[in-house]
Amino acid sequence: MAGPGGDMQWCFSQVKGAIDDDVAEADIISTVEFNHTGELLATGDKGGRVVIFQQEIENKNLPQFRSEYNVYSTFQSHEPEFDYLKSLEIEEKINKIRWLPQKNAAQFLLSTNDKTIKLWKISERDKRPEGYNLKEEDGRYKDPNSITSLRVPVLIPMDLMVEASPRRVFANAHTYHINSISVNSDEETYLSADDLRINLWNLEITDRSFNIVDIKPANMEELTEVITAAEFHPHQCNTFVYSSSKGTIRLCDMRASALCDKQSKLFEEPEDPSNRSFFSEIISSISDVKFSHNGRYMMTRDYLSVKIWDLNMENRPVETYQVHEYLRSKLCSLYENDCIFDKFECCWNGNDSVVMTGSYNNFFRMFDRGQRRDVTLEASRENSKPMQVLKPRKVCAGGKRKKDEISVDSLDFNKKILHTAWHPQDNIIAVATTNNLYIFQDKVN
């Protein structure tokens, strides 16, 4: 990735967000997602707000400033609510944002908190009508007796205004907390998954949804696993997968039956029972699952590793990448400070050759599948000079710490990169630290 011989190097492009260390809870970024062209980049935060950035294509003659993302629209998507029946607060935190493919001038996205999914329409307005017959320019109605002639109002240009309006609210379908939404390739339906159930919705219909997976046991005492993530196949509209807290992935075919409790395929890596410890199940819990763009593979993220699965092979992953294996000897303290439950996401690059995921200390990792190389980079204000090349980082697990290495005990576990996104075509990545959004791009030689 980084190194001699024309390998790819990453440069700082932009950083968004406040500089001060005192982070307000509402500003914690909870999701990052590029749209299908990569022109738009959406973020959601704990305060229920969505901020959308738009890529301004600079002079094509100036290759070094290929992409600058500037604020396009921002709106309050979800508000905190109170569940009266259970006396529980419903957080406004945006768990996921998913873009719909663009069909007309407007852009649509789905945003969800723990309980409610909303379809937002983002549209531009750059013209306004002028020359009404019955109204003054400021809106006051004219005295009808004063009107002596008729005219046709004309549309005149105005400053671009971007409006976001909620077009659909999909509520009251989830007893448990929604962890995933995924738009189907049929562009008509989408799924929403909570800890125990997955529902199928039609984008037009808000008062009904089909339950397609239900793993709730009759007796809650018998609960052994929960659903952690779910996604539709990128091309096959009948296929979706869901991952569990036990490290398994189930692939379901909606043609087989209405209720897909019985999976078509079960992906599980066999475990050596003698290696089993108290932590085994917790660290095997899958925090994210993502299909490759070509639809032949899927990637899962568990606490310590990233695994690539061939959809045709259920008994083991085809590739496993260690994200931060040095944490295995720190599991006790990571359990005590709850970090062991952190849910890291992962993503593919446009041609499925590189995968990326976050870690602690504002580090993030990239694994080049073809070249069998990986790199650790850091998102920090110290490396944020324009087009500054990111230097690879190294963590020293034990023993002699070399210069420029950082020891495991010095890692800041409060600085976690849980959410990252890769532009669908170009080498532009968005990396979210706690409250800042970094945009990096590959160095153009």
Near other proteins in 310-339, by CB under 8 A: 322-326, 328-332, 335-336
How many residues contact other proteins, by CB under 8 A?
72
Q: What is the dihedral of CA 176, 416, 377, 229, to 10 degrees?
A: -10
Output 75 or 265, the one with its CB closest to other proteins.
75
Output 32 or 117, the one with its CB closest to other proteins.
32
d(CA 164, CA 120): 6
- Residue 395 as a binder of other proteins (CB under 8 A): the answer is yes
39: Cβ–Cβ under 8 A, 6 or more apart, which residues? 54, 55
- Residue 220 as a binder of other proteins (CB under 8 A): the answer is yes
Near other proteins in 189-218, by CB under 8 A: 195-196
Near other proteins in 403-432, by CB under 8 A: none
At closest approach, how far in Å is the CB of 53 from other proteins? Answer: 8
Residue 378 to residues 30, 59, 383, 390, 435: CA-CA distances in angstroms?
A: 19, 29, 8, 7, 15
Near other proteins in 132-161, by CB under 8 A: none
Let me know: does 300 contact 306? Beta carbons within 8 Å: yes
The piece of 102-110, 147-155, 346-354, 371-379 that touches other proteins (CB under 8 A) is 371-379
Output 383 or 434, the one with its CB closest to other proteins.
434
Map tokens 């219909």 to a residue.
Answer: 205
At closest approach, how far in Å is the CB of 44 from other proteins? Answer: 10
Largest CA distance in the chain: 94
- Residue 71 as a binder of other proteins (CB under 8 A): the answer is yes
Q: What is the dihedral of CA 327, 332, 333, 339, to 10 degrees?
A: 70
DSSP β-bridge partners for residue 368: 354, 373
First and final CA of the chain: distance in angstroms? 14
- Residue 107 as a binder of other proteins (CB under 8 A): the answer is no
Output 11 or 28, the one with its CB closest to other proteins.
28
Output 114 or 314, the one with its CB closest to other proteins.
114
Which of 39, 114, 288, 302 forms a contact with other proteins (CB under 8 A)?
Answer: 114
Which of 56, 57, 64, 88 forms a contact with other proteins (CB under 8 A)?
Answer: 88
Give kind and range of the element (H or E) at residue 407: strand 405-407
Near other proteins in 24-53, by CB under 8 A: 24, 26-27, 29, 43, 45, 47, 49, 51
DSSP β-bridge partners for residue 428: 441
Please provide residue 367's backbone torsions phi and psi, each rounded to the nearest 5 degrees.
Answer: -120, 120
